[in-house]
A and B are shown apart, each in its own frame.
Chain A
Amino acid sequence: MRRVTSRSTGVVALWLLLAGFLLLGALPNQTASIRLGGLSLLWWYGGVLAPVMGVLVAIRWLAGPLPAPRRDG
């Protein structure tokens, strides 16, 4: 069975962020167009929240282990 790495967690989280945008846009009654604090919900999500979350996910989960230091001798 394949081991779940922190990178895989990060990739899944990034996919979920993308899916969230499509889901929000698909909500009935133009829910995504509701204005909140000046911006539409869709813009809050797609332009602010998801990009910032994407950065946090990248910092938290996408960094790979650095190569082990070479041992001399």
Chain B
Amino acid sequence: MTSVSRVLAVWLTPAALLAVPAALATHAEGGLWLGLVLLLAPLIVLGLPAAADPRNDRGSLFPVVTLLIAVGLLLWANIALAGDLAAWLGARRWQGIVVAAVSGWVLTAWRPLRRTAPLLLAIALVAAAAPLMQVGWATGLGPIAAWERVAAQPAFRFPAGSPWVTTGRALASVHGRAPLVFEEVHRLTAPAGGVVRARTLDGTRLSEIEWTLAPGQSVTLRSGDELVHGALRLRFEADKRVPGAPPSGAAWAEDRPRRWLERLGVLVTLLLGAAALLRAGLTVRLSRDGAGFLAGGLLLAFGWAQLWAVYAMLQSPDLFLGGVTLERLLEVPGAALFAEPWRRTLQVFLIAAGLALFLASSVALRERLGALDPTGGGEIGRDPGLWAALFGAAALASLWPVDPWTLTLLALGGVGCALGPATMWPPPPGRAALATTAGVVGLLVFATLAAAQLRGGGDALLSGVIGYPALAGGPAGAFVLWLGRRRAG
């Protein structure tokens, strides 16, 4: 698993890559930090000194099981993203899930297709770059001018060509959690009729109101009113502020109060996750060309994410409606920019890029797991039954919408706490059991906090640690390693 393309494919799953433009659109500083850490974490991890004998880990089943669970979670996150995308584009959710899961399984099961990761990555690069260049050319703005234009926006408003304005869309298709709070008077129309629910401000009192609208009938919400998410198709007014968008371009671009714990949480989770995914049980030697290709590939991905976020915000500010979600970033920005069939063609390019990246990741993750096989023969990576079960379970779980980035963080954090500390700070030769003990403790702490995260709750400092359980799980594992080394010494 030392091939550069496989390292890239394991690390840059579609959910991980799309999380960067989503975070950039939500807030510039947080998105830049995420992108920078996503770029530098694998390089830091691959630069760490190698364990005395990485094959020590192969005697234990613990790394294999934890890595298998992490691979399952990563597949789940990306198959769920395919389902979200299908639903967003008007198809059935299960259709996107089936296409992604079946093609992923075929690629991992059919031996001649197993060495296709470099080709798939190249396809993804070309297919993602083409729409980006096309959008840049159509807007007539270079990257810096586009950024400047976004940062100078007095407000993010619905463009006249937005599907939310022309035909309307169901709010149920928006998976974001941001409340739909209106900042100015806004008339909403229900093209097919239905029930609209909103929480309105009556003086200082918040009350819930329900309107039953006939087809084509409208309701007007005032500033401060909050629309409740529902399955009803609604049309918004052109040139009105997008609910959930930053107040202005300057507010998006400027500093905000530091969120140190959040920054640290992203760093620790991705660093430990990179250590576990890219280094645990492996000896990685990069040639100068290999290091250049790897870092160059990560740089290209980060560059694409930045430009895509900026052009999307500039051309499709409706992206902010209800919070930026990953699948909406695979929509070609600017409905008015491209006539058919060009728009559809560019859309096909983007979907092809996403699918190629997912398939490359599937192949690389299979190979990564196989490299850790205790038998040394990579049987786990070659067992079609096991991979059918893994893809099948991930596909079934994906029928229910989940946040793909949260799942990705859960996978990286969990496997990072289990394998990361011992990979970054290997126990002395002959003490492989210490690595397992540290991993079990780290994983238990991580799982406890992750469960608390799922239940919701905690405040201030505690909520930061619960939001990024690796902040406690990683150090817990490292502490056990330290204790074990001390007692041995």
CB nearest neighbor in A for B306: A47
CB nearest neighbor in A for B263: A22
Q: Mark A24-49, 1 if CB is under 8 A from B, else 0.
A: 01100010110101111011001100
Assembled-state Cα–Cα distance A54/B40 (Å): 7
- Besides A47-B32, A58-B295, 17 new A-B residue pairs in contact (Cβ under 8 A), listed by A number: A7-B49, A11-B47, A11-B48, A39-B144, A40-B253, A42-B28, A42-B29, A43-B253, A46-B32, A46-B36, A55-B298, A55-B299, A57-B43, A62-B46, A63-B288, A65-B285, A67-B285
Q: Which chain A residues border B145 with CB–CB below 8 Å?
A: 38
Ordered by A's residue number, 5 sampled pairs between the chains whose C-beta atoms are within 8 Å are A14-B44, A15-B44, A43-B253, A62-B286, A63-B291
CB nearest neighbor in B for A17: B40
- Whole-angstrom distance between the Cβ of B135 and the nearest chain A Cβ: 18
- Whole-angstrom distance between the Cβ of B161 and the nearest chain A Cβ: 27
- Whole-angstrom distance between the Cβ of B55 and the nearest chain A Cβ: 16
Contact A7 B267, beta carbon cutoff 8 Å: no
Best-buried of A5, A42, A59, A61 by chain B (most CB within 10 Å): A59
Report the tally of A-B residue pairs with Cβ distances under 8 A: 119
Contact A30 B299, beta carbon cutoff 8 Å: no
Assembled-state Cα–Cα distance A25/B254 (Å): 10
Contact A18 B36, beta carbon cutoff 8 Å: yes
Q: How large is the interface on A (under 10, 10 to 19, 20 to 34, 35 or more residues)?
A: 35 or more
Assembled-state Cα–Cα distance A32/B29 (Å): 10
Chain B residues proximal to chain A, CB less than 8 Å: 28-29, 32-33, 35-37, 39-40, 43-44, 46-49, 144-145, 147-148, 151, 253-255, 258, 263, 267, 285-288, 290-292, 294-296, 298-299, 302-303, 306
Give the contacting residue for A18; candidates B37, B255, B299, B306; CB below 8 A: B37
Best-buried of A33, A37, A47 by chain B (most CB within 10 Å): A47
Assembled-state Cα–Cα distance A41/B190 (Å): 45
Q: Which chain B residues border A18 with CB–CB below 8 Å?
A: 36-37, 40, 267
Assembled-state Cα–Cα distance A51/B147 (Å): 18
Q: Which chain B residues border A69 with CB–CB below 8 Å?
A: none
Assembled-state Cα–Cα distance A55/B299 (Å): 7
Q: State whether A25 and B294 are in contact (beta carbons under 8 Å apart), knowing that A8-B49, A47-B35, A62-B43 are contacts in the complex.
A: no
CB nearest neighbor in B for A6: B47
Give the contacting residue for A30; candidates B32, B36, B39, B254; CB below 8 A: B254
Contact A32 B255, beta carbon cutoff 8 Å: yes
Q: Mark A1-19, 1 if CB is under 8 A from B, else 0.
A: 0000101101100110110
Q: State whether A21 and B254 are in contact (beta carbons under 8 Å apart), knowing that A40-B28, A55-B292, A59-B292 are contacts in the complex.
A: no
Give the contacting residue for A63; candidates B36, B49, B287, B298; CB below 8 A: B287
Contact A14 B47, beta carbon cutoff 8 Å: yes
- Whole-angstrom distance between the Cβ of A30 and the nearest chain B Cβ: 5
- Whole-angstrom distance between the Cβ of B425 and the nearest chain A Cβ: 13
Q: State whether A51 and B299 are in contact (beta carbons under 8 Å apart), knowing that A33-B253, A46-B32 are contacts in the complex.
A: yes
A73 at interface, CB cutoff 8 A? no
- Whole-angstrom distance between the Cβ of B152 and the nearest chain A Cβ: 10
Assembled-state Cα–Cα distance A45/B119 (Å): 32
Q: Which chain A residues border B299 with CB–CB below 8 Å?
A: 51-52, 54-55
Q: State whether A26 and B47 are in contact (beta carbons under 8 Å apart), knowing that A18-B40, A39-B147 are contacts in the complex.
A: no
- Whole-angstrom distance between the Cβ of B32 and the nearest chain A Cβ: 4
- Whole-angstrom distance between the Cβ of B70 and the nearest chain A Cβ: 24
Assembled-state Cα–Cα distance A10/B144 (Å): 30
Q: Which chain B residues border A22 with CB–CB below 8 Å?
A: 263
Assembled-state Cα–Cα distance A59/B294 (Å): 9
CB nearest neighbor in B for A55: B295
Q: Which chain A residues border B292 with CB–CB below 8 Å?
A: 55, 58-59
Assembled-state Cα–Cα distance A46/B40 (Å): 11
- Whole-angstrom distance between the Cβ of B340 and the nearest chain A Cβ: 34
- Whole-angstrom distance between the Cβ of B40 and the nearest chain A Cβ: 5
- Whole-angstrom distance between the Cβ of B372 and the nearest chain A Cβ: 21
Assembled-state Cα–Cα distance A57/B28 (Å): 25
Q: Which chain A residues border B253 with CB–CB below 8 Å?
A: 33, 40, 43
CB nearest neighbor in B for A64: B285
- Whole-angstrom distance between the Cβ of B455 and the nearest chain A Cβ: 31
Contact B144 A38, beta carbon cutoff 8 Å: yes
